[in-house]
Amino acid sequence: MFPFCWTLTLLSLSLLTLSYKGLVHMHTLSVECETFAPKKTQARSSSMALIITLAALIIAAGASREATITSPDSIQDGTYPPEVAGICAASVAVHGYKCQEFEVQTEDGFILSLQRIPEGRGEGGKGARKSPVLIQHGVLVDGMTWFLNSAEEDLPFILAENGFDVWIANTRGTRFCRKHRYLDSSSDEFWNWTWDELVTYDLPAVTSFVRKHTGQKMNYLGHSLGTLIALASFSEGRLVDDLKSAALLCPIAYLNHMTTALGVVAAKAFAGEIGSTFFGLAEFYPKGVDVASFLKVLCAHPGANCYDLLTAITGPNCCINASTIQLFLKNEPQSTSTKNLVHLSQTVRDGVLAKYDFGNPAFNLMHYGTPSPPIYNLSNIPRSFPIFLSYGGLDALSDVHDVQLLLDNLKFHDVDKLSVQFIKDYGHADFVMGVNAKDLVYNAVVSFFKSHMASL
């Protein structure tokens, strides 16, 4: 069951999004549960079902508490989120901030969109040299997820007003990152990646771009999957030379402590399939029609109560405004690759952070030179690297016990280089969209970054 939970958790990185959108799915789901009798599924579809389930769980989590909010906007199966000019135009300039759009090419050919808010409102471009901050969202959302509250409550603006030069990363496959040097986003090859590639290609491309552009090292802020890929990078000695410090919200490295009924059912049904089954390469679009049929499989599983699953899987978020949820449903969730979700499932199953498992020793040998995939050893994170961790008591995805396990991995970290914040009432999405996140989290992040601004 643990593996399952893990996956869920990871997915939830960005869950915020999913959760909310989940509301909608929940309704669909409940109908389908009654309509469809259990079907015998093949191994491959079971595996897919697992993934879907995870997504469903995540979605469900959010859905449970905000079930009264159903927007027609959120029901748009098979269609992509509304076309907007870009994050600068849609979410930044409208608030009176300067904003620049950049494109960054990864070594494996993906073209990523990157935004910059160079200064606070009304500074007129004559400010002193500013310290850059790079902000990395989680899975199944994009950079717009940081802009769903009022300007006074949104993290990027708060950082800009506090004198930082703010850069917003977007992961391959999301709305504004569906370009490649030679691959089309409708091809299988375009979706042939997992979070390993975010570690190996996306993060290095973006950080080195920001460093070249500003001539400075930067601070890093990640949420959910944005913390996992950072921790994995640090464990390989990546990025640490380009960063001054890292603030990790809802840090994800272990996900063993989810103990929901759904988790048990799902793990029994599917855990064995993961890794032993060949998965097709494909886009995983949470609002697409395929997901609905995955949910059918899930609901048809004996013992799976579609309503309870939602409620059971994740804790609620405490502090998200209904209008923010509407905006979220309109713009998120975003696509990722199916292979990425499989990798997350493997992470759950194995309880260690390792590279993608090709599913049999011969393939692993071919790719890695070892029969099992290499691990990301968190003990190798440089002990003098400044880290700020913030986690929530209600976060069912980034569970308190699992964060403790991560902290245990960091127990030899220099004491004055590790700050840990615990917010009892906070759930996963509150860290990104909570109306009081400024007071509870962002002010502490600003202080942390300021205290490490001088680092070379």
Ligand X SMILES: *[C@@H]1O[C@H](CO)[C@@H](O)[C@H](O)[C@H]1NC(C)=O
- The residue with tokens 């309870």 is 308
Q: What is the 3-state secondary structure (H, E, C) of 19-57?
A: HHHHHHHHHHHHHHHHHCCCCCCCHHHHHHHHHHHHHHH
> Is residue 188 a contact residue for ligand X (CB under 6 A)?
yes
Q: Which residues contact 391 (CB under 8 A, 6 or more apart)?
A: 249, 250, 251, 398, 400, 403, 420, 421, 422, 423, 426
Among 45, 185, 321, 421, binds ligand X (CB under 6 A): 321
CA distances, 362 to each of 183, 270, 343, 425 (Å): 28, 23, 18, 47
| Selected range binding ligand X among 343-351, 375-383, 386-394, 411-419, rule: CB under 6 A | 375-383
Could you say which of 64, 91, 113, 224 is catalytic? Answer: 224
Figure out which of the listed residues 184, 189, 241, 439 binds ligand X, where binding follows CB under 6 A.
Answer: 189
State the nearest-atom distance from the C-beta of 380 to ligand X, in Å: 5
Torsion sign, CA atoms 136, 377, 281, 11:
negative
Q: Does 69 bind ligand X (CB under 6 A)?
A: no
301: nearest Cα among 45, 7, 80 = 45
Question: CB-wise, 208 or 379, nearer to ligand X?
Answer: 379
224 is catalytic: yes
Choosing from 165, 202, 395, 399, which is the catalytic residue? 395
Nearest approach in angstroms of CB 259 to ligand X is: 25
Among 323, 384, 447, 455, binds ligand X (CB under 6 A): 323
Binding mask 143-182 for ligand X (x = CB under 6 A): ----------------------------------------
Smallest gap from Cβ 197 to ligand X, in A, equals: 8
Q: Tell me which of 137, 301, 428, 452 is the catalytic residue.
A: 428
CA distances from residue 450 to 134, 244, 447 in whole angstroms, order as listed: 14, 10, 5
Enter the tokens of residue 244.
Answer: 């001054």
The answer to whether 110 and 196 have CB atoms below 8 angstroms apart is: no
- What are residue 134's DSSP bridge partners? 167, 220
Q: Which residue number, 42 or 379, has a Cβ lying nearer to ligand X?
A: 379
Using CB under 6 A as the binding rule, whether residue 107 contacts ligand X is answered as no
CB-based contacts of 187: which residues, under 8 Å, 6+ apart?
none
The count of residues interacting with ligand X (CB under 6 A) is 11
Active site residue 428: yes
Asked if 79 interacts with ligand X (CB under 6 A), we say no
H-state helical runs in 170-224: 195-197, 203-214
Say whether residue 192 binds ligand X (CB under 6 A): yes
Pick one of 30, 377, 421, 451: the residue that binds ligand X (CB under 6 A).
377
Would you state the structure tokens that stand for residue 57, as one six-digit string?
């769980």
| Interface mask toward ligand X for 31-60; x: CB under 6 A | ------------------------------
Q: Is 435 in the site for ligand X (CB under 6 A)?
A: yes
Cβ atoms of 26 and 63 closer than 8 Å: yes
Segment 240-269, which members bind ligand X (CB under 6 A)?
A: none
Binding site for ligand X (CB under 6 A): 188-189, 192, 281, 321, 323, 375, 377, 379-380, 435
List the catalytic residues.
224, 395, 428
